């Protein structure tokens, strides 16, 4: 079954897309906890960080480089946080890995 993020990637559900490249999409969180709250989402469905394989190494690195690029594009060059929630069905609401980028800037 496709995750809500896959449906966003496939344009089945609307979202505020901030940035997109071949393997990633960046959207605004619909329930932000900070002035800026973005989600960096791989287009490949991976359930949780515990499910990352060696073959996903470049994809995960791209998530960090994309976070840096998007933050810079928004004028946020410091004072931001990056994090993954990794606790199946308790912390991680959508079972498709995603990195949060939050800032009060």
Which positions are catalytic? 98
Alpha carbon distances (Å) from 58 to 8, 62, 65, 84, 98: 22, 6, 10, 17, 15
Give the other-Cβ count within 10 Å of 44's Cβ: 14
Residues paired with 100 in a beta bridge? 39, 83
- 19 burial via Cβ count (<10 Å: 0-12, 13-18, 19+): middle
């Amino acid at each position: 079954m496709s995750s809500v993020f896959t449906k966003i990637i496939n344009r089945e559900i609307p979202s505020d897309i901030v940035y997109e490249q071949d393997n990633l999409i960046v959207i605004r969180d619909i329930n932000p906890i900070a002035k800026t709250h973005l989600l960096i989402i791989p287009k490949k469905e991976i359930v949780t960080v515990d499910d990352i394989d060696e073959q996903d190494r470049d994809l995960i690195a791209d998530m960090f480089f994309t976070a840096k690029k998007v933050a810079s594009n928004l004028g946020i060059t410091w004072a931001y946080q990056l994090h993954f929630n990794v606790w199946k069905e308790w912390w991680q609401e959508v079972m498709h890995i995603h990195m949060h980028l939050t800032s009060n800037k």
